[in-house]
């Protein structure tokens, strides 16, 4: 059948957005470090005031059988998988992270649409993963 190759070709026709880990680090420092800490281990200055302690972002892959959980991270940041321990959905800076103009690849290899700031933040978070 010709439909399957056409669908596969269309899936490959959407290139992933360029990732900039340095830009992601800057975004993290401005938007995330207050809760997650500058070292991303969950010890930011606001962490004691949260109902649920911020997670250690350096061990996301280790806690997911060595695979960085791209889909879960994207959906947590953009609000599709809300975390209400902050008193509101996370992040409280939702408008900055809004958008679906930057495709990236999920851990399954499937495309997932998100915003460029999240794509850059993913690059940074993946770069700081510990074993």
Tell me the per-residue pLDDT of 12-26, one tens digit each, with 9 for 90 and over.
455 667 889 999 999
Q: What is the DSSP letter of 80?
A: S
Query: Do the domain assignments include residue 11?
Result: no
Q: Domain span at residue 94?
A: 19-127
Q: Model pTM? A: 0.82
| CB contact set of 21 (below 8 Å; sequence gap of 6+) | 120, 123, 124, 126, 127
Query: Do the domain assignments include residue 80?
Result: yes
> Is pLDDT above 70 for 5?
no
> Is pLDDT above 70 for 38?
yes
Q: For residue 112, which of 66, 73, 71 has the smallest C-alpha distance? A: 71
CATH code assigned at 39:
1.10.760
């Amino acid at each position: 059948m010709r439909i399957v190759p056409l669908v596969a070709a269309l899936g490959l026709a959407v290139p992933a957005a360029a990732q900039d880990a340095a830009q992601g680090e800057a975004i993290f420092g401005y938007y995330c470090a207050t809760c997650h800490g500058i070292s991303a281990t969950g010890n930011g200055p606001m962490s004691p005031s949260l109902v649920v302690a911020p997670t250690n972002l350096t061990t996301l892959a280790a806690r997911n059988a060595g695979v960085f959980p791209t889909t879960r991270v994207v959906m947590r940041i953009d609000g599709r998988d809300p975390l209400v321990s902050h008193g509101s959905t996370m992040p409280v800076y939702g408008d900055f992270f809004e958008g679906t103009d930057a495709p990236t690849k999920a851990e399954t290899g499937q495309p997932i649409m998100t915003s460029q700031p999240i794509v850059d933040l993913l690059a940074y978070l993946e770069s700081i993963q510990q074993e």
